[in-house]
Every structure is written in C-alpha cells, then in structure tokens.
A and B are shown apart, each in its own frame.
Chain A
Amino acid sequence: MQEYFHSVRLDTDKCKGCVNCIKRCPTEAIRIRGGKAQIIESRCIDCGECIRRCPNHAKTAFTDNLQDLANYRWNIALPAPALYSQFNYEVSIEQILEALLSLGFDEVFEVALAAEYVSSQIHDYLENNTGNRPYISSACPAVVRLIQVKFPELIDHIIPVDSPAALAGRIAKCQSSARLGIPPEQIGVWFITPCPAKVTAVKQPVDMEISYINGAIGIAEIYGELLKNIGQNANNVKRTATYKGVGWALAGGETKATGRDSTLSAHGIQSVNDILEQVVLGKLNDIEYLECQACAGGCIGGPLMVQNRFVAEKNMKKRLEFIKNQGLNDDKEAQINYDPAEYALVKQKIEPRSILRLDSDIVKAMQKMELIEKTLARLPGLDCGSCGSPSCKALAEDIVQGHASETDCVFKLRERVKALAEEMVDLAQKLPPSLNKENEEGFYDRR
C-alpha cells in the first residue's frame, strides 16, 4: 500500500502548468515541474482548494462510483447532511433519500442522525474535560490533516470523538449485519461526500485502524442521476434526523448543536489556518470549542458540490427553518437504538506528520535555516511563481534542500545572462596585438 492515499489528483493532459494552484495551496504542496503541476504527497491534505482554483479543471477528486455497489450483497448509502442543500427545500428529505434508493442502494442511513449523537458526545466531553482548551472539532478531515502537518503542537486539542460520518458507518454496518444476518464484509457502506477530504478519510483514516465505510461517492458524481430519480412518492424511507443534525452542513451548525456557550466557528482553509495560529499563541484559551471547516460556508461549500455555495446556503437555511417547525412525526428512538458503548472503538492516537522540519538533525536544520535566509535575500521577492515554487521563500527552501537551483528564477537567470552578455561584448572588443591598430606604440615603449 502506498504511504499516503490521496483523493485529489492531477489530470496531466489538462494541466497547463500555470501557477494558480501552487499559489493557493495552504500547505505549499504543489510545484510545477516539466510544465505540469506535481503534488507532494506528504504535504497534501486533500482540502480540494486546488480543485476550486484550477481554471483548466486539471485537478480532480478520485471518488468511488455506483458500479462499485455490485461487489456487495447489501449496500447502504450514508448521505452527508450537505446533500440536502443541493435541492430546494420543497424537495423533501424523504424524496432525496428515496431517490438514493432508486440508484441501487438497499438502505439509507442519515449522517445527520449520527451528527446528533456526536453533538451530545461533544457536549458531555466538554462538560468533563477542560485541560486542552480550546478543543478542536474532529469532523473535517482536511482540518485534522492540516493540524497533523502544520500544527502538530495542537494534536492534543482535537476532541477524541468520532466524526458523524465515521459513527454513521459503524452503526449502519453493525446494525444491518445483525438484522439481516449478512456478514459485515458483504455489506457495502458508501458515504455520499461533498469533498475529497472525506474520500481520503474513508480510505486512510487517521485515528482508527479500519474504516467501517467502504467507499465515498462524490455528490457531483451522482447528482444528475439523483435529479432524474426524485419522485413524488417517498414511501420506503423515513427521515430520522432533526434540524440539529441536518444543520451540521452549515458552518456554525455543529457548535450550535453541541449547545455550548463559549464556541467559535472558523471556515475556509486560510481562515482556519489563521485561527489555529491564534490557538498556538494561547490567545483562545477562554474558548471551549472550536469548529473548523476547510471549506468556506462549511460542507455546503465542498469542492464536490454542484450548487453555488450561496445558493446551497439559502436552500439549507430554508430547509432548516422548515423542518424545525415540522418536527419529527415518527419516533426515531424505536428505529435506532443507539448505545455509545456498543459502538465504542478504541481510537488510535493521531500522529503528527510535520512537513516543516528541515532536517532530522537540529544543528543541520539550523544551518539550512540560515542558508535559506541568505538565499531568500538574493531572490527578487516578487513571489511570481514562474520558478514552479509558490513563493520566493519556498524556492529558497527548495534550493537549499536540493530540489531546485537559483537559475530556476527567471530574474536570476536574466541577471546571469546579462552578466554573460556583457562579458561577451567585452571579449568581442578585445583584439590580438597584431591587429590592434589603435595601440600603435611599440612593445618596448610600454616599459
């Protein structure tokens, strides 16, 4: 197995080697080499920012597709709450779930319901633990990975509570296996995902050994089919989650559902980066809980969504208002008996994956640091990206680490060419003494 699985990939045919993606990547994980973007695997956190930025659609997300359902006897869809934002609120959640069934799933389990359980787990955890404030949500896998690679000192702040998707997968698989008498390995559980980060989280979880979810299917991948299959009837499914769980799709929905006072919600990968910097400096110790989402607007702004995020936000707000008033007319307790202990899993510690360290030897790292500063001082400081590195600073580091050379900078190259040209002009003017008529004085006269 490869060291890192990544959902975000490059379509080399479409890549024109422009610098849009390298400049926006929050972990500086992309370089242009040989006229094409190259993703540095150890740095990529699968946030999907490059997918948004690429004007040529050369950045894509690998997700599973409906054909994969054929490999299992029983298939369960786990729709992310954000899926509901892709439809006008007049299309009921039941209709959306029913449409999922008509795509070939045998059962649906709303991640929004698991989100409600997770909300109360978070509430209880915050009630009983104060040591690592502010606690940081574990729900967004791109944020968890950002912390691993760029903020390893904050790993202990990540709340040791499952993400709603992970919990939904576990409950759905275990319960259906018991109910139907089908072995768990013959049950396919599929997360209907708004983002590539979740695909990666499913394929290579950071905090548990195995994922109960078999794959993740991008919302954009099935959107057309879903639209076709939205019918008037929804007789085979019941909505299980209330507005609290569904609200997780929007930035701020999670903190609202936990019912805690001292919380803060940051969204958009750059804003998350900034707020985490503040946590490191000890500025936010009075905050109990920090909800961080890589996508602006929350999951409704995911790179695999179809609707414009503001439209999705409007849809979702309307829907929340609507189902809040409507309430649940069935007793969901009877439908799903949830005992946290039954599904408790020994979670693995999240390991740091720092990309920042220059050398395993401190002294050598210090020497490299000095060299980087000196190299940087010689570079033009325009951060144009033409060299294929995202900034002059990144190029300086690439040079010191042996991955680039100073003449990769077009301005340095020009300087060198200019110096060479001047020297050539200089040399061209020189003549051997036998031809040099201007210098007619005799050899001996010079003395």
Chain B
Amino acid sequence: MTNEQTLKMEFTLKSMDFNLAGEASSKIKQVLQRIGISSAVIRRIAIGTYEAEMNAIIHAVNGKMTVEVSKDKTEVTVVDEGPGIHDVDMAMTEGYSTAPDHIREMGFGAGMGLPNMARCSDVFSIKSEYGVGTEIYMIFNH
C-alpha cells in the first residue's frame, strides 16, 4: 500500500508568459530534492521539464504539465492547445527550430528542446496534430 504512494503536481503554462518561465520546472526540482531523489536523476528531470515548459510557453496557446512522482519513477505529461507540430520527425532533429527571430534573440529556440527531452528521459513519446495541439509524455526512472 505505502509503495503506491505518489505525489501529483499540476502546472498551468501560459503562452508567452516569460515571468513564470522556469517556475514549474524549478518547483518540480525542489520537490524531488526534498523527497531524496538522486542528484543525477534530478538534473535530467529538471532539464527535461524545463525544455517542455519553455516549448509550451513559446509555441502553444495554453498548456498543462502534470507530474506524478512515485518511488521509482517520475512521469511527466505536457498537453497543450497550440499550433501543433507540422513534421514531428523534423522537429526531433537537433538544431531544427521554427521559433521566430525575436524568441531566438532571447536565447531560446535553438532547436534543441525536443532532442534534449528525448535524451534526458527514459521513455519519450510525442503526439501532435497540426492545428490542434501537442502531447508529450516522458518517464524518468529514479
């Protein structure tokens, strides 16, 4: 019974809300540290969730990140209503970006978001429908 103990967190991600950018991933990191997840794993989760958070803020209209932490894994789901991704394979290529110039000037949109998420997580899946939205699912084993 106790082994099924989980912690759930939910964050709303708003389009272009740079004031709150990084807030969700920082919060997640803090909680994981309190629980005692190892530093190396926290590092991967922090980077993965930060990239996902920024993607939603930069590209989507509205998004939601749900995190469920259990004893041996952290599951992250990011669902957004947004433009969706035209060509997912293309978006998974390192350095490929559709971010407009003004976003790149801020140091974002280097085309590393999705590849970084895939690299940091143990399970990574992405579903996207052009014009509807995107759903990213990641599992990080502890």
**Residues of A close to B25: CB separation below 8 A:** 281
A interface vs B, CB < 8 Å? 152-153, 155, 277-278, 280-283, 352, 354, 356-360, 362-363, 365-367, 369-370
- Total cross-chain contacts (CB, 8 A): 68
**Set of chain B residues within 8 Å of A152, measured between Cβ atoms:** 39
A270 to chain B, nearest CB (A): 15
Q: B3 contacts the other chain (Cβ, under 8 Å)?
A: yes
- In angstroms, Cα B51 to Cα A194, docked, is 40
Q: List 13 A-B contacts (CB under 8 A).
A: A153-B40, A281-B26, A281-B29, A281-B50, A358-B34, A362-B37, A362-B71, A365-B36, A366-B35, A367-B2, A369-B7, A369-B31, A369-B34
Q: Are A153 and B7 in contact (CB under 8 A)?
A: no
What is the minimal beta-carbon distance from B118 to any residue of chain A, in angstroms? Answer: 14
Partner of A277 from B26, B31, B37 at Cβ < 8 Å: B26
Instruction: Give the chain A neighbours of B34 by CB distance below 8 A.
Output: 356-358, 365, 369
Question: Which residues in A have their C-beta under 8 angstroms from that of B33?
Answer: 354, 356-357
| Best-buried of A152, A280, A358 by chain B (most CB within 10 Å) | A280
Flag if B35 contacts A362 (CB, 8 Å): yes
Interface size classification for chain B: 20 to 34
Interface: B47 (CB within 8 A):
yes
Does more than half of chain A's interface fall in helix, strand or loop, or is it mixed? helix
- Other A-B contacts than A282-B50, A357-B33, A363-B3, 15 sampled, CB-CB below 8 A, are A153-B42, A277-B26, A281-B22, A356-B30, A356-B34, A358-B35, A362-B37, A363-B71, A365-B34, A365-B35, A366-B7, A366-B69, A369-B31, A369-B35, A370-B7
Contact with A along B49-75 (1 / 0, CB 8 A): 011000000000000000001010000
Residue from B39, B47, B107, B142 within 8 A of A352 (CB atoms): B39
Within 8 Å of chain A (Cβ to Cβ): is B6? Answer: yes
Contact B6 A366 (CB under 8 A): yes
Residues of B within 8 A of A360 (CB): 36
Q: State whether A362 touches B36 (Cβ < 8 A).
A: yes
Q: A281-B50, A362-B71 are in contact. Are A357 and B42 (CB under 8 A)?
A: no
A281 pairs with B46, CB closer than 8 A: yes
Report chain A residues within 8 Å CB of B107: 283
Q: Is the beta-carbon distance between B7 and A280 smaller than 8 angstroms? A: no
